[in-house]
Amino acid sequence: MKTFTLRSFIGMFFGGFIAVLYTNAIILFGGFEMIDGSLFVKNSIGSIFCGWFFTVSSMYYENRNLKLSQQTIFHFLPS
């Protein structure tokens, strides 16, 4: 459980970090002076979720009690 929590926080951090960097790059290099706040929040939440999902989903492969075929099936099933 400790590993899951640690990886969750790391994934959410990097997802949010990438969302902010991407938004700043669009504002600086795209010529936009303002952004839509609700769109920013939606995209940030999506990036945070993707960061969390990609860091946590690899934990299936660390469980040695499952066969490789079971690990692969669980990895591709929606959470």
Residue pLDDT, tens place only, 30-46: 888 788 888 889 989 99
Counting every residue, how long is the chain? Answer: 79
Higher pLDDT, 75 or 39: 39
Evaluate whether 9 touches 56 at the Cβ level (below 8 Å): no
Q: By percentage, how much of the chain surpasses pLDDT 90?
A: 20
Q: Phi-psi region for residue 35, left (φ > 0), alpha (ψ -120 to 50) or beta? A: beta
Evaluate whether 15 touches 52 at the Cβ level (below 8 Å): yes
